[in-house]
Every structure is written in C-alpha cells, then in structure tokens.
Structure 1
Amino acid sequence: MDELSSRILTRIAVAVMVLSTGWIIFEALRTDPAPGEVAHKAADRAFADGNYERALRNYRDSLQADPERTDAIRGKARALLQKGRHEEAISWFDQAIEQQPEFAGTYANRGIAYDRMGLFEEALADYEVAMHLDDAVAEGPGLITRLLHMNEPPPTVADRADYLRAQLALPEEERMLSMPEEDKAQRTYRQRP
C-alpha cells in the first residue's frame, strides 16, 4: 500500500472514531424522553409488526403518561381500526381531529373506518377533507414502504374516493360500494407531524 492510501485510511479511521465517540457522548447527555415517549415508540414498533393488541397496550401506557399526546391518540385509533373495532376507532380519531384539525392523515383513517362500516358518504367526505389538507395523502404509502412491504401498491385514498364518488352517482340498485378483498387491502395512513 502506498503512502497516500495509508494516510487516507488513517484519516478515515480517525474520523469514524471521533464521530462514534461524539455520538456516544451526545446520547449520554441527551435529556430524558418526553412523558410517554418510550411507550409510544414501543407501540409504533408493535403496530408495524402487526401486533395490534400489544400496540394498544403501549398506546394506553403512553396516554396514561401524557393524555394529550396526539400521536398516541392517533396510533390507538389506527390500532383499533386494524382490530376491526371501528366505532371505538372513530371516537379516538374524533379526539385527534379536535386536537389537530389540520392533520390530513386522521381524516383519511377515519374515512377508512367509516368505509369499513358501510358509511360511504361519511367516508367520502373524510377522504376529500384529507386530500384537500394534504395532496400527499392521495399518493398512498411511500416508495420505501412499498418496496419493503408490498407486492402491489394498495388502493390509495384518492383511488377509493374516486371509486365511491362514481358509485354514489349511480342509481342505488346499480351500486357496488363494497369489495371486501380490495377494501381489506387499504392500509391506514401514517403521517408524521
């Protein structure tokens, strides 16, 4: 190895050591997490793993530490939605909307709950509010999520809103508002504040 390569490797090694040491010091000096933060992160991991019962327990713990924690309220609502407890989910989505009425993802998810309950007009209204507040809702899950977790992209809020709008325009006897297999594929929407 020549002298130039040796110097470059030495500098890279020193830089890695300095950065690692800096990170360790930063983590050691960092303040305590906000009330409910640890339980909330555990709940998000459980939700991502599909363990909705454990997610509900952890969201409950997070809310006991901080009852006004909107992200935990939304998380609990999403977990209830995934468990098929739609009316409870809507109640929690309503609380989240009261706290943050401009947060599009909550309307999209409440729309999914209404949709699954057969309340299609309410679902469409929530989908439209969500898309009005944030056009990114219409795009569905991000590229990384689709690559890692999905063979085919699920129907988006915009897809479902378009479908409901078209079906509700038909005479009642011609409507086909629910397609259980496709409806089940619709994922809840997670949006970071």
Structure 2
Amino acid sequence: MNKNILAAIFTLSILGIVGFYYYKYSVLETTPGENKYRLGNKYLEDGDYKDALQLFDEVLAEHTEYKEAHLAKAITLLQMERFDESRESFNRAIGLDNRYAQAYANRGILNDRVGRHEAALHDYRKALKLNPELAEGPGWLWRFLRNIPDRPPTIADRADYLEAELKKPESERLIRVPELDSKQRMYKK
C-alpha cells in the first residue's frame, strides 16, 4: 500500500478518535440541561455572575433535581453576596443528596463568611468525612491554568485553624483574616 494512503488513513483515524471524544465530553449532553450548566460554569469562572445565575435558573426551571446546578447556583449567589439565597440553594443540593461533599464544603465557606464559624467547622468536617480528597485542594494544573503559583488554603486547613481558634477564649481568637480568607476556593467536582 502507498505510504501516503497509510498516512492519510492514520491521520483520519486519529482525527476521528479525537473528534469523537471532543463530541462526547463537550457537546453531547449526558444529563438534560448539561450544556447550559457548562456554559453557566464558564460564566461563573469568568466572574460573570449575572449571566451564570440566569443560566442556572433556566436549567433548574426545567430540571429541578439537578444537584450540580443547585450547587453552582449557590456558589454564584455566594459570590454575589446574596447569602440567604445561597444557603437555600446549598440546602437544596444537600436535600437532593445528603452525601454531596462539595455542597457541604461550600456551605461551610458560606457559614465562614457570615461569621457562623461553628457551623462552618461542622460542614467542613462533614465534607472531609464524605470525601477525604477534598483535603488536597486544587491540583497543580488547575492552579497553573489560573496563574495561582501558591497552593491556596484548603477546607482541611481552614477546619484545623477554626478548631484551634474556637478552643481559645473569645478575646484571643483571630478567626477572620480577609486577605487569607479571600484566597479560599470553591469546590464543585
């Protein structure tokens, strides 16, 4: 067989395989509403909270049992500082799956931000019990793609810190350090 024909067959085979996986993992919806959900996540990551919230609301209007959309909506509302609505969405996600570690972790962040530190500690510990991998935090590739050179604090770090501070007399506690608290990352996967 001619070398050019073999090269063409090989190239087309590789392109076919790559195309299939691209379609399967970025175009094909495995869950109804998934494409809108993905677009909403892109808006959320880009800081376009208004558009993200609109998409998550659209997804949830059609698919009320979509726990990941409830979580993403809650995170969006948290970023918009709409704390009561955010808590409601976290609670809905947990109501759909009481073993949803990411929802507990992020509700812990919400509780932390609004000063409910005991509740935050409880949620962090529950999340870590359900999914110990959350203690690892974001990996190097995630940090590299977002230009974050240092490893941000994880919920395990924050839980340990809160636990130590809550044991101290109230006058000696240093629970909030806005500069460090702002580096805490959300957990979705």
Query: 1:153 aligned to 2:151?
Result: yes
CA distance 1:112–1:130, shift in 2 (3 Å): same
Please, which runs of 5 or more residues in structure 1 have no aligned partner? 1-5
Cα root mean square deviation, aligned: 2.4
> 3-state DSSP class of the match of 1:185?
coil
Q: Which range moved further: 93-102 or 18-27?
A: 18-27
- Kindly indicate whether residue 184 of structure 2 is the aligned counterpart of residue 182 of structure 1: no
Residue 18 (structure 1) shift: 3.2
2:166 to 165, 168, 173: 168
Asked whether the 8 Å contact 1:109–1:188 carries over to 2, the reply is yes
What's the TM-score, normalizing by structure 1?
A: 0.86
Matched length: 184
1:143 maps to 140
Does the Cα contact within 8 Å between 1:124 and 1:165 map onto a contact in 2? Answer: yes
Could you say what secondary structure the match of 1:35 adopts?
Answer: coil
* Amino-acid identity (%): 37
Structure 2 residue 41 is matched with structure 1 residue 39: no
Task: State the alpha-carbon separation in 1 of the partners of residues 174 and 183 from structure 2.
Answer: 17
Could you tell me how far 1:41 is from its partner in structure 2? Answer: 1.5
Query: Any residues of structure 2 matched to 1:75-114 within 5 Å, and which?
Result: 75-114=72-111
- 1:74-118 Cα shifts (integer Å, max 9, x gaps): 110011111111221111111101111112111000000000000
Distance 2:150 2:82 in 1: 26
Q: For residue 141 of structure 1, give the secondary structure of its aligned residue in structure 2.
A: coil
Larger Rg over CA atoms: 1
Matched, 1:20 2:15: yes
Closer/same/farther in 2, CA of residues 31 and 178 from structure 1, 3 Å limit: closer
Q: Which range moves more in the overlay, 119-128 or 182-191?
A: 182-191
Flag structure 2 segments of 5+ consecutive residues without an equivalent: none
**Residue matched to 1:130:** 127
Amino acid at match of 1:57: Q
Q: TM-score, normalised by structure 2?
A: 0.88
